[in-house]
């Protein structure tokens, strides 16, 4: 399922790779995952289908890499906007965990509401539910790296005394990441900035009445 050999870095390969990603993302939106084929991706990208089979073993693997690349591009653009040379791949640390989490979760809500991400991400998630091999790759390459950014930020907050010492950061982050993913995937409720804010507040301070700070 993984890339067999990474595309080499010549300009021609890079151009083919990008054309394949663009074709896979456009086609899954147009025809849906069930009708997506390697042949159609190759035709749309203007490459031979052997070019695709040389680099990937299945349409799911192509789509996953195309989607990961979309995320890299967005992160790179965000980094450039922020005047940084490199990819923005950390959760900001202003010293205020609540503010930083709200900032990132509001951006995630905006991303989830962006049609560009909808069809491919939904297709990958659905296919991952039924196909354990692609599911494991989805978690390893896409979901877990995103969640690890929260682990790091929660650890920083714990070191700064803003998170209780006994808290497991890998579980803590699920209090906001799990609900967001569920609402988005299941369409079980509105995805708004206010919702994102409430998740952060409830997770940080709990839903039980909080004793007054003296």
Residues that bind its own copies (CB under 8 A): 32-34, 97, 122-123, 125-130, 132, 135-136, 138-139, 143-144, 147, 154, 161-165, 167-168, 170-172, 174-175, 177-183, 185-189, 195, 198-199, 202-214
DSSP calls for 173-203: THHHHHHHHHHHHHT-S---HHHHHHHHHHH
Sign of CA dihedral 64, 70, 76, 81: negative
Asked whether 202 and 194 are in contact (CB, 8 A), the reply is no
Q: How far is the CB of 125 from its own copies (least distance, A)?
A: 6
Of 38 and 45, which has the nearer Cβ to its own copies? Answer: 38
Of 87 and 180, which has the nearer Cβ to its own copies? Answer: 180
Q: How far is the CB of 115 from its own copies (least distance, A)?
A: 14
Q: How far is the CB of 52 from its own copies (least distance, A)?
A: 23
Of 76 and 198, which has the nearer Cβ to its own copies? Answer: 198
Which stretches of 46-173 are DSSP H helices? 49-55, 59-81, 97-112, 115-130, 132-138, 144-159, 169-172
Q: How far is the CB of 25 from its own copies (least distance, A)?
A: 16
Q: How far is the CB of 38 from its own copies (least distance, A)?
A: 18
Of 77 and 139, which has the nearer Cβ to its own copies? Answer: 139
Q: Determine whether 151 is exposed, middle or buried from the number of CB atoms within 10 Å of its CB (0-12, 13-18, 19+).
A: middle
| CB-CB neighbours of 89 under 10 Å | 14
Of 18 and 170, which has the nearer Cβ to its own copies? Answer: 170
């Amino acid at each position: 399922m993984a890339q067999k050999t990474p595309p080499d870095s010549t300009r021609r390969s890079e151009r083919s790779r990008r054309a394949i990603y663009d074709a896979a993302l456009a086609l899954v939106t147009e025809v849906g995952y069930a009708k997506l084929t390697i042949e159609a991706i190759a035709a749309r990208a203007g490459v031979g289908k052997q070019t695709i089979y040389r680099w990937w073993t299945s349409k799911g693997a192509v789509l996953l890499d195309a989607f990961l690349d979309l995320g890299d591009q967005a992160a790179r653009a965000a980094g450039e906007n922020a005047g940084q040379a490199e990819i923005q791949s950390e959760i900001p640390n202003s010293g205020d965990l609540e503010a930083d989490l709200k900032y990132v979760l509001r951006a995630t809500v905006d991303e989830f509401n962006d049609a560009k991400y909808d069809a491919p991400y939904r297709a990958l998630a659905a296919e991952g539910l039924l196909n354990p091999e692609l599911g494991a790759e989805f978690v390893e390459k896409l979901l877990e790296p995103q969640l690890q950014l929260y682990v790091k930020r929660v650890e920083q907050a714990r070191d700064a005394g803003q998170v209780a010492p006994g808290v497991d950061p890998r579980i803590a982050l699920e209090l906001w990441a799990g609900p967001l993913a569920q609402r988005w995937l299941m369409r079980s409720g509105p995805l708004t900035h206010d919702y994102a804010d409430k998740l952060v507040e409830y997770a940080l301070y709990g839903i039980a009445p909080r004793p007054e700070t003296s």
